[in-house]
Structure 1
Amino acid sequence: MTESSSTRDQLRREGFEQIDETLATLIDCLGEALKSLGEDALLPYLPWSGTVPEDHPPEGTQQLYSIGFQLLNMVEERVAAGIRREREKTLGADSIRGLWPRALKDMSAMGLAPQEIIEVLRDVDVQPVLTAHPTEAKRSSVRERHRALYDELVRSEYPKYTEREQRRIRARMVTALETLWRTGEIHLVRPDLFRELRDAIHYLRDLFPHALNRLDLHFTEAWRDAGFPMETLRAAENVPRLSFGTWIGGDRDGHPLVTPEVSRETLGMLRKAALQLLHRELLTLGTQLTLSRQLNEVPDELETRIDELTFTLGDESVSTALHNRFHEEPWRHLAALMAARLERQIEGLPGYAGPEAFGEDLRLLGESISTTGCTHIDEQYIRPLRQKLDIFGFHLATLDVRQNSEFHDQAIAQLLTAAGVADGENYAKWPEEERLALLESELKSPRPFLHDTASAGEQADLVLDAYRVLGDEIALHGKQGLGALIVSMTRQLSDLLGVFLLAREAGLMESTADGPICPLEVVPLFETMDDLERAPGILDAYLSHDFVKRRGASTQQVMLGYSDSNKDCGILTAAWSLHRAQEALTSTAVNHGIRLRFFHGRGGTISRGAGPTHWFMAALPHGSLTGSFRMTEQGETIAQKYANLANATYNLELLLAGTAITTAHHRQAAPAPDPADPFVPALSSASQHAYQQLLHSPGFIDFYRQATPIDALENSRIGSRPARRTGKKGHSIADLRAIPWVFSWTQARFYLPGWFGVGSALEELKTSDPGQFAALKAALPHSAFLSYTLTNVETNLASANLDLMRSYADLVADEELRERFMAIIVAEFERTRTLLADLFDGDMRARRPRMTKTLDIREAPLRVLHRQQVELLAQWRELVAAERDSEAEAMFPKLLLSINAISSGLRTTG
Structure 2
Amino acid sequence: MSSRHYIQQFRRNVTDKYTIYNSLFAALPFSGIANVGALLPILSQTCEDDYKSGKDPVQIINDFFHQHTQVHDEKEKIDRLFKFVQYIERQVVLFDAIEDAAFANVNNIEGPGSLKSLYNEAVFAGKTQALKNKLKKFRVRVVLTAHPTQFYPGSVLGIIHDMSEAIAKNDFHTINEYIQQLGITPFFNKKQPTPYDEALNLMWYLENILYHSIGNIYNFIERDIFDHAYDGENPFIELGFWPGGDRDGNPFVNASTTIKVAEALRSSIIVCYYRDIRKLKRRLTFSDVDVLLQELEAILYENVFRPTESEPVHASQLLQKLLTIQQLVKEKHHSLFLQRLNSLIHKVKIFGTHFATIDIRQDSRIHTQVIQTIHESLVKTEGKGLLPDHYQTMSPSEKISVLCSLKGELNPAWFDSITRDTLESIYAIQNIQQRNGEAGCNRYVISNCQGSLNVMEVYALFRLCGWKEDNLQVDIVPLFETIDDLAHAEKTMDELYQLPTYADHLKRRKMQQTIMLGFSDGTKDGGYLQANWSIYTAKENLTAISRKYNIKAKFFDGRGGPPSRGGGKTHKFYASMGSNIENEEIQLTIQGQTITSNFGTIQSSQYNLEQLMSAGISNELFADARIQLSQHDRYLMEELGSISHATYQQFKTHPLFLAYLQQFSPLNYYSKSNIASRPAKRGTGGALRFEDLRAIPFVGSWSQLKQNVPGFFGVGTALKTMKEKGLWEDVKAMFRNVLFFRTLIDNSMMSMLKSFFPLTQYIKEDPEFGTVWKLVKDEFNLTCNMVLELAEAAQLMDDDQPGRASIQMRDKIVLPLLTIQQYALYQIRNHVSDGPEKEVYEKLITRSMFGIINAGRNSA
TM-score over 0.5 for the alignment? yes
Distance 1:658 1:778, change over 3 A: closer
Structure 1 residue 652 displacement after superposition: 2.2
Q: Residue type matched to 1:342 in 2?
A: L
- Structure 1 range deviating more: 417-426 or 843-852: 417-426
Shift in alpha-carbon separation, 1:422–1:340, aligned structure 2, 3 A: closer
Task: Output aligned runs, 1:695-734, within 5 Å.
Answer: 695-734=652-691
1:76 alignment partner, SS class:
helix
1:62 maps to which of 71, 85, 89: 85
What secondary structure does 2:586 align onto? strand
Establish whether residue 642 from structure 1 lines up as the match of residue 599 from structure 2.
Answer: yes
Residue 838 (structure 1) aligns with: 789
1:80 to 96, 99, 103: 103
SS of alignment partner, residue 767 of structure 2: helix
1:446 to 407, 421, 427: 407
Please give the residue correspondences for 1:795-874 in structure 2 after superposition, counting only pairs within 5 Å. 795-807=750-762, 809=763, 815-845=766-796, 846-874=798-826
Once the two structures are superposed, the pairs formed by residues 401-412 of structure 1 within 5 Å of their partners are 401-412=360-371
The equivalent of 1:31 in structure 2 is 26
Q: Using a 3 Å threshold, how does the CA distance of structure 1 residues 178 and 670 change in structure 2: closer, same or farther?
A: closer
Q: Distance in 1 between matches of 2:390 and 2:198?
A: 34
Correspondence for 1:747 among 704, 707, 710? 704
Provide the rounded CA distance (Å) in 1 between the counterparts of 2:399 and 2:92: 58
SS at structure 2 position matched to 1:123:
coil
Equivalence for 2:76: none
Report the count of equivalent residues: 822
Equivalent residues in 2 for 1:228-627, closer than 5 Å: 230-231=227-228, 234-237=229-232, 241-291=236-286, 293=287, 330-346=288-304, 347=306, 348-351=308-311, 353-378=313-338, 380-420=339-379, 430=392, 434-447=395-408, 451-452=410-411, 455-507=414-466, 509-512=467-470, 518-551=472-505, 552=507, 553-627=510-584
Asked whether the 8 Å contact 1:683–1:765 carries over to 2, the reply is yes
1:48 Cα deviation after fit:
10
* Cα displacement string for residues 478-506 of structure 1 (whole angstroms, at most 9, x for unaligned residues): 31201301111110110001111111111
Q: Is 200-209 or 461-470 further displaced after alignment?
A: 200-209
Paired residues of 1:33 and 1:175 also in contact (CA < 8 A): no
Q: Write the deviation string for residues 187-222 of structure 1: whole angstroms up to 9, x where unpaired.
A: 231111111111111111232222234334554675
CA distance in structure 2 between the aligned counterparts of 1:855 and 1:208, rounded to whole angstroms: 26
User: What is the DSSP-based 3-state SS (H/G/I as helix, E as strand, rest coil) of the residue aligned with 1:761?
Assistant: helix
Partner deviation per Cα, 1:570-620 (whole Å, 9 max, x = no partner): 000101101110110111111111111111110011111102232121122
* SS of aligned partner of 2:477: strand
Distance 1:50 1:679, change over 3 A: closer
Is the alpha carbon distance of 1:230 and 1:489 closer, same or farther for their aligned partners in structure 2, counting shifts above 3 Å?
same
SS state at 1:817 partner = coil
Contact 2:442 2:473 in 1 (8 A): no
Residue 99 (structure 1) aligned with residue 114 (structure 2): yes
- Asked whether the 8 Å contact 2:212–2:602 carries over to 1, the reply is yes
- Matches of 1:895 and 1:429 in 2, distance apart? 50
Cα 1:616–1:729 change in 2 (3 A) is: farther
Range 721-730 or range 356-365, more displaced: 721-730
Contact 1:32 1:174 in 2 (8 A): no
Q: Distance in 1 between matches of 2:751 and 2:166?
A: 34
Residue 666 of structure 1: CA displacement?
A: 5.5
Unmatched segments (≥5 aa) in structure 2: 48-62, 69-79
Task: Specify the alignment match of 1:307 in structure 2.
Answer: none
> CA-to-partner distance for each residue in 1:266-289, whole Å, 9 max, x for gaps?
112112222222212211111111
Q: Work out the CA distance in 1 between the residues paired with 2:277 and 2:430.
A: 31
Whole-Å separation in 2 of the counterparts to 1:663 and 1:606: 25
- Please say if 1:190 is aligned against 2:204: no
The whole-number CA distance in structure 1 between the counterparts of 2:803 and 2:418 is 48
In structure 2, what is the Cα distance between the partners aligned to 1:281 and 1:108? 34
- Contact 1:625 1:662 (C-alpha < 8 Å) held by counterparts: no
In the TM superposition, residue 476 of structure 1 has moved relative to its aligned partner by 4.7
Runs of at least 5 residues in structure 1 that lack an aligned partner in the other structure? 157-168, 224-228, 294-329
User: Could you report, residue by residue, the CA deviation over 1:214-259 in whole angstroms, capped at 9, with x for unpaired residues?
Assistant: 3345546753xxxxx615xx23356562121101100000001111
Tell me the distance in 1 between the aligned counterparts of 2:684 and 2:847.
24
- Structure whose CA Rg is larger: 1
5 Å-filtered alignment, 1:123-202, equals 123-156=137-170, 169-202=171-204
Higher relative contact order (CA 8 A, sep 6+): 2
Is 1:897 aligned to residue 847 of structure 2? yes
What amino acid maps onto 2:498 in structure 1?
A: S
CA contact (8 A) 2:644 2:718 kept: yes
CA contact (8 A) 2:151 2:675 kept: yes
Instruction: Name the amino acid aligned to 2:497.
Output: L
Could you state the TM-score of these two structures normalised by the residue count of structure 2?
0.90
Structure 1 counterpart of 2:36: 42
Q: Is the 8 A contact 2:361 2:445 kept in 1?
A: yes
CA distance in 2, matches of 1:639, 1:351: 36
Cα distance change, pair 779–67 in 1 and its aligned pair in 2 (3 A): same
Moved more, 785-794 or 618-627: 618-627
RMSD: 2.8
How much has 1:653 moved relative to structure 2? 2.1
Aligned to 1:793: 748
Letter in 2 for 1:547: T
- TM-aligned CA deviation for residue 75 of structure 1: 2.0
Q: Does 1:659 align with 2:616?
A: yes
Using a 3 Å threshold, how does the CA distance of structure 1 residues 760 and 489 change in structure 2: closer, same or farther? same
